Amino acid sequence: MGDDKKETLRWNRFHSLWGAEGETDLTVGFKTIVSKENALHGLDEKYLRARLVHDNPKETVKLVYEPAVVQPYGVTFAPASIPDFFGRKLEFHRKDDKETRLPRRWMVAARHGESSCFGFSAWDSKNSNYLALAFPTRAQDGSSTGEFLPLYLKTEGAHGDIYLVVGAKGDGDKIAVSCVEVEEEDAPESLLRAKPGLVFSV
> How far is the C-alpha of 70 from the C-alpha of 50, rounded, in Å?
17
pLDDT in tens, 36-45: 999 999 999 9
Q: How many CA atoms lie within 13 A of 50 on its CB side?
A: 17
The predicted structure's pLDDT at residue 21? 64
pLDDT in tens, 89-115: 999 999 888 888 888 889 999 999 888
> How far is the C-alpha of 26 from the C-alpha of 15, rounded, in Å?
9
Query: What is the average pLDDT across 179-196?
Result: 93
Q: For residue 93, report the phi and psi dihedrals to the nearest 5 degrees.
A: -125, 125
> How far is the C-alpha of 165 from the C-alpha of 151, rounded, in Å?
6
Q: For residue 10, report the phi and psi dihedrals to the nearest 5 degrees.
A: -105, 120
Q: What is the secondary structure of 35-49 as a DSSP string?
A: ETT---TT--THHHH
The predicted structure's pLDDT at residue 198? 60
What does pLDDT average to over the chain?
A: 89
Domain map (residue ranges) of the chain = 9-193
Among 5-9, 34-38, 77-81, 182-186, the range scoring the smallest mean pLDDT is 5-9
The predicted structure's pLDDT at residue 157? 84
pTM of the model: 0.89
Q: How many CA atoms lie within 13 A of 102 on its CB side?
A: 5
